[in-house]
Structure 1
């Protein structure tokens, strides 16, 4: 539960270069009795447990972008990312957040999230934008429940509480180690073990979000004050990323819990083997290679082409079968490519298409560099685990068995 240390968990991520409060096009949120609400996401560039943590991807999106989206889904139009990092700043601004560049003295391992929030509030004040209510979000909690966040904001704006925090119900028996290493019961009598249904639950703070009055926060310089209330959230949302194992767990959960979105892109790029094929090959006596492809995929490519959406096949293979299939589909192909990332960058620049507006469909680890630079990294259902973890979308169909057609339909459904 750390990143911005001393009193709290790590903060959210991403920001854009610029002066203390680089403007985005949104107006401050208002709620309840005309309260001015702002979401603040602290996001340092440094992290020891998970390097560049706030930019690591879950569900194909950087953690900081997930936090920005959660705030927007909760109806908070003014979203501020506090950062010392140029890349986080750029990513955050692209996602629609306003960036506050924090000084070095507030960016080290011992800097508290409270100090970053106070600095961001000062920057907003200097810009003539006073704030009544703060929603403090942490990007290292990738499953921020927007409905619970919106309800917490409403409670503070309605003067039902001064400070509200996310927590989940738990019936766990807690223990601590004493100085002599013996175990001591914390929240129960070890000699009396009532059934779950016979005892009241406790609530465990998740670190996902805190909502509080700005003026009282300035006075107390802490997030808990006055009438403190709990915003109950589902237990599965409580994962907080402080190490690589937790990151992998979050990536696996994203494939289960993230709501499917229309894939809104201007171009589609695909690998060949394991995407257009089922990743098997038949070798004849003369060394010729045959592969299995799907007519359904072929129809999907034809539909995409008629819709005017560019498609490129990008393959490391140097094999006549790749060119033959591309010619059959009437789509361009770059094959024999060792550096897919660079080839994709050059192709996108030549077509005048931003990388953020491209879907890349892959299946194996050599696709990862290209997947990491596009807005929509997509994996076939039977892709390598690392590829599925890096994907924003994991398709339901496997390579060579309709995966390309499924992607085409998701792209055109927008």
Structure 2
């Protein structure tokens, strides 16, 4: 059966302006949604429908197809179903199964999507949606006071004596294509529920929920530890990254720092692999220039607006910001962290930087952080080369057999 994942992502949002491009765990929401869909073992195509050029660019960069969403389907009153049907109308063939994903749910597990697809594909249900189990007592408030919803306020059974309810998370809905086309709405036929991890069940509609999601990201994304970093360039701060953020000051005012030889080897390996490296520092200090010269890398120091300097540097070299890894540790790195595809933090970074990071390294600044970053970038490069080498080899072996 053919399976198409569709992600509606409007540019307009009143509660959280620019919501679908806001970051959770250092990754834009739309990119997280595309990544979840592409990681599915059963999804054949991933399509983002949007009226916003920036969202379209981010989605395309993340590997999704993009459909321009017309203005009449992009207003506050337009339903998600209308956007899904518009995409389906433009396809050459109607898919057997439609996976409707919402970018406002940042923690969508591909394994849970696949479970739902299997259930629809196997004919058990026509619709399967993500939900969490709840035993909460709900109340309705009116002018006459509060009334229990779904329960008698005068009866208080124990949790183990009650049947649970199931709350939609809004993360995904897996729909039988023909049934959805006929109904025009996400619920029809036999409906089932995939119960998902409650920690990952947040849906972002407010700034407070965005902040909560960022606090949860290091926990929910913990399985990403050790993953390769798909970057074409590496940019780092200096103090607290190449050093442990301490400085020795002599009686004549001269400053001394300690550097890690392992970090130096990591930088050399990056250079030998043809990966540009830049040290970008707010401080203007001879020790920074001296270390950069030793490492044979570019350095820019005494920079007040590091994000602007990084943007110019990338543009001059034809580098896409979403393919740059930036390693920082303090608040003056937040601007750079907010514009690159791989915002990285050392474990001792300030809380704001930890919250903005897509990856928090295991090695502290001055004790192998740069080396760890280098190895993870090189790991991605090696994987890419291996895939390019294996594909024609496999194709040739099948042909000659």
Please classify the TM superposition score into its range, dividing by the shorter chain length: 0.7 to 0.9
Match of 2:303 among 325, 334, 337: 337
Match of residue 139 from structure 1: 103
Aligned-residue offset at 1:370: 2.0
Q: Which residue of 2 aligns with 1:171?
A: 135
1:201 aligns with 2:168: no
Per-residue deviation, residues 109-164 of structure 1 (Å, max 9, x unmatched): 2221112112222222xxx2222321111000001121121121122122211111
Q: Does residue 21 of structure 2 align to residue 55 of structure 1?
A: yes
Aligned to 2:125: 161
Match for residue 230 of structure 2? 264
Higher helix share: 2
- The CA deviation string for residues 301-360 of structure 1, in whole angstroms up to 9 with x for no partner, is 344444443322111111111112222333221112223233223333444443333211
Deviations 1:24-80 (A, max 9, x none): xxxxxxx3xxxx321111100011111100011112221111111111222312111
- Say what the alpha-carbon RMSD is for the aligned residues: 2.0
Query: CA contact under 8 A between 1:361 and 1:379: conserved in structure 2?
Result: yes
Shift of 1:208: 0.5
Residues 45, 88 of structure 1: 8 Å contact kept: yes
Q: 2:31 is matched with which residue: 65, 82, 88?
A: 65
**Match for residue 81 of structure 2?**
114
Residue 373 of structure 2 aligns with which residue? 407
Name the SS of the counterpart of 1:278 in structure 2.
coil
CA offsets 1:58-103 (integer angstroms, 9 cap, x no match): 1222111111111122231211111110111111112121111111
CA distance in 2, matches of 1:88, 1:185: 42
Q: Do the aligned partners of 1:140 and 1:242 also contact (CA within 8 Å) in 2?
A: yes
Alpha carbons 2:47, 2:66 under 8 Å: kept: yes
The answer (yes or no) to whether the contact 1:114–1:222 under 8 Å persists in 2 is yes
Partner of 2:69: 102
TM-score (norm 2): 0.88
Q: Distance in 2 between matches of 1:288 and 1:255?
A: 39
Matched, 1:89 2:87: no
**5 Å matches for 1:10-409?**
31=1, 36-74=2-40, 75-124=42-91, 128-180=92-144, 182-258=145-221, 259-260=223-224, 261-409=227-375
SS in 2 for 1:183: strand
| Structure 2 SS opposite 1:197 | helix
Taking the aligned partners of 1:150 and 1:303, their CA distance within structure 2 comes to: 39
Deviation at 1:107, TM superposition (A): 1.0
Distance change in 2, residues 1:168/1:360 (3 Å):
same
Task: Indicate the larger mover: 403-412 or 378-387.
Answer: 403-412
**1:279 counterpart SS class:** coil
Q: Does the 8 Å CA contact 1:248/1:389 hold for their aligned counterparts?
A: no
The more displaced of 208-217 and 296-305 is 296-305
Offset of residue 378 of structure 1: 0.6
Q: Is the 8 A contact 1:163 1:225 kept in 2?
A: yes
Q: Tell me the distance in 1 between the aligned counterparts of 2:182 and 2:296.
A: 67
Q: Partners of 1:250 and 1:349 in 2: how far apart?
A: 32
Q: Residues 94 and 177 of structure 2 are in contact (CA less than 8 Å); yes or no, is this contact kept in structure 1?
A: no
SS in 1 for 2:105: coil
Distance 2:200 2:262 in 1: 38
Which range moved further: 161-170 or 151-160? 151-160
Q: Distance in 2 between matches of 1:353 and 1:246?
A: 33
Number of residue-to-residue matches in the alignment? 376
* Rounded Cα–Cα distance in structure 2 between residues aligned with 1:365 and 1:265: 23
Are the counterparts in 1 of residues 214 and 355 from structure 2 also a CA contact under 8 Å?
yes
Contact 2:26 2:356 in 1 (8 A): yes
Q: Displacement of 1:365 after TM fit?
A: 2.4
Q: Secondary structure at the match of 2:245?
A: strand
Between the aligned partners of 1:217 and 1:339, the Cα distance in structure 2 is 51
> In the alignment, is the contact (CA less than 8 A) between 2:200 and 2:220 conserved in 1?
no
CA distance in 2, matches of 1:250, 1:405: 30
